[in-house]
Amino acid sequence: MGKEDYDIVILSTARVDDAYSSSALSLAKELAKHNRVFFIEHPFSAKDFISQYSVGQKIKDRKQALLFGKNMYRHTAGAPANFTVVTPKLTLPINWLPEGNLYDTLSGVNDKILGATLRTVIKDHKIKKYLFVNIFVPYYLRNIPADIQPTATIYYTVDDISQEPYIAKHGIRLEKEAVTKADMALATSKELTRLLGEYANNVCFLPNAADTSLFRKAAETTLEKPDELKGITQKIICYTGNIGTRINYKILKSIALQHADKVLLMVGPVSNQDYVTAGLDKLPNVLFVGSKNIAALPAYLQYSDCTIIPFEYSTLTKSIYPLKVNEYLAAGKPVVATAFSEDIVDFGDVVYIAKTEQEFVDKISEAIATDDDAKKQERIQKAQLNTWKARADRFWELVQQKLEKTATPARLASAS
């Protein structure tokens, strides 16, 4: 049975209209070029509905699906025709509960809600053989009903769950449960592969990638200058992504102060006030432009002279393979990063890796001063090794290897 004979159901921590790019969404869309993919968005809880309805368009747009299970399917612009977004009904908010019987009982109720969603998807689309991929939500669909079992269950981790404060409470033990129950597990970084490998022998490395065709526009076509950058004549140092706890704000402040003749451009949603505590909001050459659709990012990169990944050294960042490194490289831009993980250090042939705050500041100067067409092409070629197509191909290699190893006579008969 070939890979094209399988449908794929993905339960994700992401939603299609999130403010930042998602590796889960990118991989799902790539897989949908050759297979039907049903992308079950991260569930909203009843608490989310009550607290966010008056201010959140996401809730309003999904009201019929969330409350009544109606209009649960959507197709998104620009996605393959085989990519179907699925909105499940509201779940119970139970993360606040302690571990124990009550939590497990209500978790079972949530499993029934999502199991009903899965059963409806299977019935409506006449699914016969499917892979179930849980991407970093081990507290949902812990048990799939016996009558709708997938051909294979895959758990995919994208971060060190112990370092995500809200979900760590139950996530640590439930991720272990998910990995040990799954037919195979995937991890986006070498560190995560090691961590999960401590309690399962079915963990494979499948790192993040980039939509290189989108970001190569920054290198190959002339894009309109974003409004926020019009009138800026100085060189621009650019960061794109979530502006939150992973960032070393001391480094950012040093960059702004020691490169006072340049603009430090911050593109992305702000998730805390650490930048205010660091005093970045008071510096005249620091520009925050807010969250942008991923399609808008190449224009910001085109008019930048250097890109940065100023992450902290921490347990969390040690397990990160940064999505943005391949986006920056595909745009042909110089990249300066801290040595926060083994995965970023592996890019040392095309990325300037800094081990100290001052080295980071100095390497920005070096990166800008020594940039040329040859280095630009090296970066683009490196990014081309890390496309979502390459990741989807690798996904299928790993899955087919696992299916061949675990195939039983009954499974082989049903697959023929």
Residue 164: the pLDDT is 84
| pLDDT tens per residue across span 272-282 | 899 999 999 99
Average pLDDT along the chain: 93
- Give the domain ranges of the chain: 3-209+387-415, 212-384
Provide the token pair at 8: 């794929």
| pLDDT tens per residue across span 2-26 | 788 899 999 999 998 876 668 899 9
pLDDT surpasses 70 at 345? yes
- Specify the pTM: 0.89
**CATH for 3-209+387-415?**
3.40.50.11010
**CATH for 212-384?**
3.40.50.2000
> Nearest-5° angle of CA 160, CA 165, CA 167?
75
| Mean pLDDT confidence for 245-267 | 97
HSE, CB side, 13 Å, CA atoms: give it for residue 413.
Answer: 3
Indicate the pLDDT class of residue 412, thresholds 50, 70 and 90: very low
Q: 187 with 204: CB under 8 angstroms?
A: yes
Indicate the pLDDT class of residue 409, thresholds 50, 70 and 90: very low
| pLDDT tens per residue across span 46-89 | 999 999 888 778 899 999 999 999 999 999 888 999 999 999 99
Angle formed by the axes of helices 388-406 and 23-31, nearest 10°: 70
Amino acid (1-letter code) at residue 387 = T
Amino acid (1-letter code) at residue 204 = C
Is 212-384 in the same CATH topology as 3-209+387-415? Answer: yes
| Mean pLDDT confidence for 154-178 | 93
Residue 415: the pLDDT is 41
| Mean pLDDT confidence for 325-339 | 97
Pairing of strands 83-86, 73-74: antiparallel
Indicate the pLDDT class of residue 407, thresholds 50, 70 and 90: low
Provide the token pair at 15: 């939603």
Residue 413: the pLDDT is 41
**Other Cβ atoms closer than 10 A to 148:** 16
Query: Measuring CA to CA, how many Å separate 312 from each of 159, 164, 323, 339, 343?
Result: 15, 15, 16, 9, 14
